[in-house]
Amino acid sequence: MQLIDQLNNPQAKAYAKHCFEKKTTEELRAATNESPDPKVLSDWELTEGQYAEAITTALAEREA
């Protein structure tokens, strides 16, 4: 998880790891085009920007 480990924000890093382990490549691609679920933002203590960074990093890691 070289790319994920480079994330500076601990919440974004944790969510990116979760997404990498639990979501398929297709789910991650779809998530990059959707608005984040407010419950996910609240539960993971993420801003929309951190969410987007986590999703795109998890996707990049999976495709690397």
Instruction: Name the residue ranges covered by the structural domains of the chain.
Output: 2-63
Predicted local distance difference test score (pLDDT) of residue 1:
84
Percent of the chain with pLDDT over 90: 97
Q: How many helices (H) and strands (E) does the chain have?
A: 5, 0
**Cα–Cα distance for residue pair 25/10, rounded to 1 Å:** 22
Averaged pLDDT, 32-42: 96
Binned at pLDDT 50, 70 and 90, residue 50 comes out as: very high
CA 13 from chain center: how many Å? 8
pTM of the model: 0.94
Predicted local distance difference test score (pLDDT) of residue 56:
97
The answer to whether the CB of 28 falls within 8 A of the CB of 59 is yes
* Tens of pLDDT, residues 8-17: 999 999 999 9
